[in-house]
Amino acid sequence: MPTCRPSFRRMLLACFVLFASTSVLAAPPVTEPVHVDADGPYVFREDGHLHARWICDDAVQEQALDDAQATVAARCGYPHPVAVAPPLPVATALLPPAARIVAVSDIHGQYGLLVKLLRANGVIDEQDRWTLGRDTLVIAGDVFDRGPQVTEVFWLLYGLQQQAAAAGGAVHFVLGNHETMVLYDDLRYVNPKYLRSAQLLGRSYPQLYGADSVIGQWLRTRPVLLRVGGTLFLHGGISPEALQLALDPVATNAAYQASLGRPKAEVKADPATAPLYDGKTSPIWYRGYFDGRLDTAGVQNLLDQLGLERIVVGHTSMPHVSTFHGGRVIAIDSSIKNGENGELLFIENGKLSRGLLDGSRVALAEGTLDAGD
């Protein structure tokens, strides 16, 4: 603080004013706590029973159910009843060809936009129930973070998976980098709403998706690599450095599943898991198909070694579902995270197209290298 030199009285007054003004400038900004209008349910298995919790108008509501599997009625947050299934087994990594596959990625909490897109393209009906029959829906990662309706998206996909299986179809959720980030407590991109929900529920945000939660257990059985016929679905991509991980997808998926929820520093320091989380080359982070690191010949070499026809990825945002490297790589992150528009990829007996928000179908966009973020 500067020295005060006037008379004693003036010195006291000047120093008091200077101290007060300096204190005001140094004080941290006051922020109002986030008000949670509606969130939930968060459903946990505790002592063989289900316990559901919601945040309704910034207050916790709870319900205990006698059985470890039951239907949880809607209160606030997700607008439909939740049918809780028994704990699911580890998902299969290798599947035979499917006549029709619909794929989408990087939803990032944009539930309303996702519902509009799926309804317009005949994947769900006006009550948000599965209408794709025996066909397949693939979600290539990143439901967590950014948007305000992450909880709703997870319950929609969880329910659609049950409904599709009953109809002879399938829903596959493939883990993205934001799933792993939240579970290892990297909360840089979490919508503030969810930090408030966690505070009200008395858990950290990752603990809301712990192994004792229904969605947390479900996430711990989902794959990172999913092969359907000659198409490989994953969030980031296969780099030449990580080729071995794709050659044994069953082992790679098991390694990811076992590592979910371990501290970030621990998985990055462990030689057994470090390749799974490398920010440049791992399957959940790679962007080399688009930034010039890998040319078309390099992509073809990967496909040849893996016996694939194409690789479908999210993670790198595009304005449209786009084709790269002569159809060898399909980018399906159509920037749904912005909350304004989104598209679906359709693969029907080898023919590719994209479904738009108005339900129309058009050819894939031609991608340009160095696009996306």
Q: What CA–CA distance (Å, rounded) separates 227 from 308? A: 9
Three-class SS of 262-276: CCHHHHHHCCCCHHH
Q: Which residues sit opposite 325 in a β-bridge?
A: none
Q: Which residue has the tokens 């980031």?
A: 236
Q: Which residues sit opposite 137 in a β-bridge?
A: 102, 171
Single-letter amino acid, residue 348: E
The answer to whether residues 147 and 206 touch, using CB atoms and an 8 Å cutoff, is no
The answer to whether residues 19 and 25 touch, using CB atoms and an 8 Å cutoff, is no
- In the three-class reduction of DSSP (H, G, I as helix; E, B as strand; rest coil), residue 92 is classed as coil
Q: In terms of CATH architecture, what is 94-366?
A: 4-Layer Sandwich (3.60)
Query: Which pair of tokens denotes residue 184?
Result: 């290892």
Could you please report the per-residue DSSP string of 62-81?
EEEESSSS-EEPP-SSS-S-
Nearest to 331 by CA among 275, 271, 373, 282: 373
Single-letter amino acid, residue 70: A
Q: Which residues contact 361 (CB under 8 A, 6 or more apart)?
A: 346, 353, 354, 355
Name the residue ranges covered by the structural domains of the chain.
38-83, 94-366
Q: Which residues contact 28 (CB under 8 A, 6 or more apart)?
A: none
The answer to whether residues 89 and 221 touch, using CB atoms and an 8 Å cutoff, is yes
pLDDT for res 48? 84
The DSSP H or E segment spanning 231 is strand 231-234
Residue 245, number of CB atoms within 10 A of its CB: 23
Residue 16, number of CB atoms within 10 A of its CB: 11
The answer to whether residues 202 and 42 touch, using CB atoms and an 8 Å cutoff, is no
Residue 295 has what DSSP assignment? Answer: -
Query: Mean pLDDT, consecutive 10-residue segments, the chain of 373 residues?
Result: 39 37 34 84 93 98 88 97 93 94 98 98 98 98 98 98 98 98 97 97 98 97 98 98 97 97 96 97 98 96 98 98 98 97 96 98 92 48
Q: Which residues contact 3 (CB under 8 A, 6 or more apart)?
A: none
pLDDT for res 88? 86
